[in-house]
């Protein structure tokens, strides 16, 4: 059986869920990965009746939900909080804007997200963690090992109690390895796992688009963490370094033609998705392939339709027989 193809609603939060579900069904998707912003899945409302109402909307369009995503609040758990966070988190999490208060309320909201996911009947929450040391990436001014260690310790102290709640309710948290998070590549993902004591509720929302522009082979991430791939985002990115542009983006907005890389609709970038599918087959991943559509140069409904067809065309199951079995005696 092929893996379900779903659409992440984070880039569609301007639409009410009912309208989004109707569109996704018409595009050919099997389900939605619900974002915890807009009206798609509101954690503070998620009692039994509310969760039933969300499922009813999806079922009316023959759609499933395998995961929800609370990237924006998760970002605030470990971050150095500033004015930018006010725009991405609920007012009740922002409160008076005191940074430590924001981080504590964000942690409480992530615990509530785990409980809400359990009521909805999904087993994975995707998201971000934030990082207290991302701003130290360049290692200048001189950054000691103690500085870096303190960042991973901060992550473990803040996320450990959150992950205990996830474990308690039978839900797993899948970090999307991404710049500005405690884990943004293979080595920092390993370090994050070590810091959290390889907590059984902590794993990854695999997204190759954030790896390809950093110069990594995205399939190698899957091979490195075979038991920690809890969910998969299908998303592409293209690198366009021309001797002038830089890999760090030059503080240019997404979509600016001068950037050294940008997100692309599926099949229009540099990710080798065949190698990704083969790697997923090697680890026995049978969960959803969730399209996260981002491309500033393409109309989104065209991109969503095309991406659904692309994923169905590239996904394949491993063989259950050796191709040369018929040659034997």
Overall average pLDDT of the 215-242 stretch? 98
- Non-local (6+) Cβ contacts of 90 within 8 A are 44, 73, 109
Render the burial of 61-86: b for 16+ CB within 10 Å, e for the rest: bebebbbbbbbbbbbbbbbebeeebe
Overall average pLDDT of the 217-235 stretch? 98
State the total domains in the chain. 1
Q: How confident is the model at residue 325 (pLDDT cuts 50, 70, 90)?
A: low
Q: Which pTM does this prediction carry?
A: 0.96
DSSP character at residue 86: G
Distance CA 169, CA 139 (A): 39
Q: How confident is the model at residue 2 (pLDDT cuts 50, 70, 90)?
A: confident
* pLDDT score, position 326: 63
Tell which residue, 2, 8, 4, has the closest CA to residue 292. Answer: 8
Q: Contact 25/62 with Cβ under 8 angstroms? A: yes
* pLDDT score, position 218: 98
Distance CA 101, CA 269 (A): 40
pLDDT digits (tens, 9 = 90+) for 67-113: 999 999 999 999 999 999 999 999 999 999 999 999 999 999 999 99
**1: pLDDT strictly greater than 60:** no
Overall average pLDDT of the 214-228 stretch? 98
* pLDDT score, position 324: 61
* pLDDT score, position 16: 98
Does residue 326 lie within any of the structural domains? no
* pLDDT score, position 9: 98
Beta bridge partners of 238: 262
Q: Which residue has the tokens 């929800």?
A: 68
Does residue 323 lie within any of the structural domains? no
Q: Contact 191/183 with Cβ under 8 angstroms? A: yes
**How far, rounded to the nearest angstrom, does the alpha carbon of residue 163 sit from its chain's CA centroid?**
17
Does residue 329 lie within any of the structural domains? no
**154: pLDDT strictly greater than 70:** yes
Does residue 77 lie within any of the structural domains? yes
Tell which residue, 134, 265, 275, has the closest CA to residue 209. Answer: 265
Overall average pLDDT of the 163-188 stretch? 98
E strand segments, 176-298? 202-206, 229-234, 236-239, 261-264, 289-291
**58: pLDDT strictly greater than 60:** yes
- Residue ranges making up the domain that contains 261: 5-318
* pLDDT score, position 80: 98
* pLDDT score, position 220: 98
Does residue 327 lie within any of the structural domains? no
* pLDDT score, position 319: 80
Does residue 325 lie within any of the structural domains? no
Does residue 324 lie within any of the structural domains? no
Does residue 289 lie within any of the structural domains? yes
What percent of the chain has a predicted confidence (pLDDT) above 90? 95
Domain at 187, CATH number = 3.20.20.150
More confident residue, 19 or 326: 19
pLDDT digits (tens, 9 = 90+) for 248-276: 999 999 999 999 999 999 999 999 999 99
């Amino acid at each position: 059986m092929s893996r379900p193809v779903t659409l992440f609603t984070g880039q569609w939060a301007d639409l009410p869920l009912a309208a989004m579900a109707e569109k996704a069904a018409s595009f050919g998707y099997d389900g939605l990965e619900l974002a915890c912003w807009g009206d798609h899945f509101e954690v503070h409302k998620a009692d039994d009746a509310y969760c039933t109402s969300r499922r009813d909307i999806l079922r009316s369009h023959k759609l499933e939900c395998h995961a929800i995503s609370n990237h924006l609040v998760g970002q605030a758990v470990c971050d150095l909080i500033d004015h930018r966070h006010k725009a991405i988190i609920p007012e009740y999490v922002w409160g008076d804007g005191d940074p430590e208060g924001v981080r504590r309320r964000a942690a409480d909201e992530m615990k509530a997200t785990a409980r809400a996911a359990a009521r909805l009947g999904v087993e994975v929450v995707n998201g971000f963690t934030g990082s207290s040391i991302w701003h130290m990436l360049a290692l200048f001014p001189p950054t000691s090992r103690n500085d870096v260690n303190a960042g991973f310790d901060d992550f473990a102290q803040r996320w450990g109690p959150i992950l205990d709640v996830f474990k308690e309710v039978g839900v797993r948290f899948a970090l999307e390895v991404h710049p500005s998070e405690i884990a943004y590549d293979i080595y920092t993902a390993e370090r994050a796992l070590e810091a959290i004591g390889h907590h059984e509720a902590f794993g990854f929302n695999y997204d190759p688009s954030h790896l390809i522009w950093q110069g990594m082979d995205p399939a190698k991430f899957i091979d490195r963490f075979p038991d920690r791939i809890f969910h998969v985002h299908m998303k592409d990115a293209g690198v366009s370094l021309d001797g002038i542009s830089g890999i760090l983006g030059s503080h240019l907005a997404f979509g600016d033609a001068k950037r050294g890389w940008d997100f692309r609709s599926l099949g229009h970038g540099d990710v080798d998705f065949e190698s990704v599918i083969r790697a997923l087959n090697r680890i026995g991943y049978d969960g959803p392939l969730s399209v996260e559509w981002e491309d500033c140069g393409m109309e989104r409904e065209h991109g969503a339709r095309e991406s659904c067809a692309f994923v169905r065309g590239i996904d394949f199951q491993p063989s259950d027989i050796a191709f040369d079995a018929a040659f034997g005696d």
